[in-house]
Amino acid sequence: MMTKREFKQFLGVNALRLFIAITAMFLILFLYVIFSKGGKMVTWSFLTESPRKFMTEGGIFPAIVGTFWLTVISIAIALPLGVFTAIYMVNYAKPAWFVKAVRIAVNTLAGVPSIIYGLFGMAVFVQLLRMDVSILAGSFTLAILALPVIINASEEALRSVPHDFREASMALGATERQTILRVILPTALPNILTGTIISIGRVAGETAPILFTAATFYTRHLPNSVMDEVMALPYHIYALMTEGAHADKQVPIAYGTAVVLLALVLIVSTVAIIIRYKIRKNRKW
């Protein structure tokens, strides 16, 4: 016979198990629905052809290309900015009030809703700087969104480099800059890359920031330059679900696109997890 206290414990612990089971079942159901409905759509021609007949037929190649360029350019902008900022915060860190101001800015930026980035990008890059709706405007917008993630990851990576490394390098007569560039940064690099890869996954999946800065619903052409507007995988899903008149034909394409986007994001984050695992295993300090 259980006492009242034991019974309470029994109920409580099993309630926790139930909560976890619900979460896990949702994920399984979610992945099952997406992959079972979208998986059969993903054929070679789906990946390599342009859409036809107002999105009711054909493939998603222009959207793949668009997402590729948006992601690559935005990371190319955000990565150096983020790493340099982190170097400043960790290695120079003076004056203190400025470091504090940067930290507040980073934390605030991290909490800003993505649609607000979209509005900012529209007001500043599209309108004020006259980039129009283009890959460039969208990439700048996404870069600012990725910046706080990259700064935080880089800062953490730089701080995890043992102090001895720095002191040993300085004792050998290396300058501050040489120490940072040849000792600290290379040591921290794998961890910085992990953080960057995570932000790649996030940038590739964002829709709201590119709604008014880069994305277009339908084009058969691939972009000629960074000043062109593009299709993008996440926006393509949204457009297929909310525009057009042939839901019966558009929904399956949306599922297919979701499989491609999801596979992309999952592959990217798996790579990040593997790298992180290897670093932890090989670390000798």
Partner 1 sequence: MNKFKETMFKSITYVASLFTILALFGIIFSLFSEGIPILKIINFKDFLGSTAWHPTSNPPDFGILALIIGSLVVTVGALVISIPLGLGSAIYISEIAGQRTKEIIKPIIELLAGIPSVVYGLFGMAFLSPFLIKVFGIPTGLNALSASIILGIMVVPIISSMSEDALSTVPKSLREASLALGANRWETIMRVVLPAARSGVLGSIILGFGRAIGETMVVIMVAGGAAQIPSSLFEPVRPMTAAIASEMGETAFGSPHFHALFGIAVVLFFITFITNLITEFVFRKKRNQT
Cα–Cα distance for residue pair 72/61, rounded to 1 Å: 17
Q: How far is the CB of 223 from partner 1 (least distance, A)?
A: 20
Q: How far is the CB of 205 from partner 1 (least distance, A)?
A: 3
- Nearest residue to 137 via CA among 213, 31, 201: 213
CB nearer partner 1, residue 50 or residue 91: 91
Cα–Cα distance for residue pair 79/89, rounded to 1 Å: 15
Q: How far is the CB of 37 from partner 1 (least distance, A)?
A: 8
Cα–Cα distance for residue pair 212/209, rounded to 1 Å: 7
- Nearest residue to 194 via CA among 270, 256, 129: 270
Three-class SS of 110-142: HHCCHHHHHHHHHHHHHHHCCCCCCHHHHHHHH
CB nearer partner 1, residue 226 or residue 251: 251
- Torsion angles phi and psi, residue 56, rounded to 5: -90, -10
Q: How far is the CB of 165 from partner 1 (least distance, A)?
A: 18
Q: How far is the CB of 31 from partner 1 (least distance, A)?
A: 9
CB nearer partner 1, residue 236 or residue 284: 236
